Amino acid sequence: MLDYTPLIVLANFFLFPGFAFSFIVSWFFYWVFRKLRARLQARRGPPWYQPLIDLVKLFSKETILPITAQKTYFILAPLMALASLLLALILMPIGFTSAPAAFVGDLIVVIYLLLMFGVSTALAGSASGSPYGAIGASRELSLIIGYEAVFAAGALVPALAAKSLLLDNIVALQAGGNWLLVRFPFAAVAVLLCIAAKLKVKPFDMPDAKQEIVAGPFTEYTGPLLGIWYLAKMLAWFVLSALFVDLFLGGGDGLVFPLNLVSFLIKCFVVVVVMTIFEVANARYRIDQAFSRYLTVIFALALIDIIRFWVGSYLGWW
């Protein structure tokens, strides 16, 4: 009897919920971000096919490696970023009750993989040999130090509520509309603000601030390598919004197919819209301002709900 397990794994990685499906959804979400941002700024914005045209243009151009770059790390960085996001995606339940590659403790691995996306950005800047890249890498690392502990603490709250580090169990706990956003709003806000930093949404876009340091870590990238970065940044919009939906908005709400997938994507769409409005409504922070806010006010939000959970558990509220 034939073993189809390797084929199923490949299908999960390359088709659903892997590269093919996520590329289509990410393309749409990234276009929504650009279009809505433009309309809110009284501009027309790009047509729906613009992200695809940008990718085709980049992948059709020549890759030029800077003489001063550390070429191995310079090439490896965008590949690491894209691979980490795709691996995180197959560990998350995308509308369904179970993820393709779910295992006990997968939430920790997802947090680690999303951290690697930021580390890859810092690696790209430091390996580029450009002063703009070096400044961008320094800002990226400072931002990571500020938000990563907050992100982990906020994501811990749903895990405590479900008494499990398995994302499937966290989603199952919220079946029937019992969203953890309602029970733990402070942790949800903390995680959402950390997602804003991971997406480089204002006011947390210091690492690639165009008005200050050109494109920061991506300044020296050209051709297909820049195309991979563009693809990874698009994909991040879907992966990070999907994680927030799984943690606090109930995933697919336990509905039957295709309603579960439709429900899931609508919630992701709402997260993208919220991030876009947040981008337009804020001006960029200085790096010290962002760092201090994450380690004080935003970290306090996550800690409030951790304390609320323990007190509520002791008093029998949950």
pLDDT digits (tens, 9 = 90+) for 298-314: 999 999 999 999 888 87
Q: Is the model more confident about 252 or about 232?
A: 232
Question: What pLDDT, on the 0 to 100 scale, is given for residue 150?
Answer: 93
pLDDT at 1 over 50: no
On whether the CB atoms of residues 81 and 14 are closer than 8 A, the answer is no
Indicate the DSSP class of residue 18.
S
Question: What pLDDT, on the 0 to 100 scale, is given for residue 107?
Answer: 92
Rounded to whole angstroms, the Cα distance separating 58 from 228 reads: 9
Query: Where do the H-state alpha helices sit in 199-283?
Result: 210-213, 223-248, 259-281
Indicate the DSSP class of residue 98.
S
On whether the CB atoms of residues 129 and 137 are closer than 8 A, the answer is no
For the stretch 34-62, pLDDT in tens is 999 999 988 998 998 898 898 999 989 88
On whether the CB atoms of residues 66 and 130 are closer than 8 A, the answer is yes
CA distances from 289 to 125, 142, 175, 284, 303 (A): 22, 11, 39, 10, 20
The pair of structure tokens assigned to 311 is 């007190």
On whether the CB atoms of residues 113 and 87 are closer than 8 A, the answer is yes
Half-sphere exposure at residue 120, Cβ-oriented, CA atoms within 13 angstroms: 23
pLDDT at 3 over 60: no
- The amino acid that residue 113 corresponds to is L
pLDDT at 96 over 90: no
Question: What pLDDT, on the 0 to 100 scale, is given for residue 9?
Answer: 65
pTM of the entire structure? 0.90
pLDDT at 89 over 70: yes
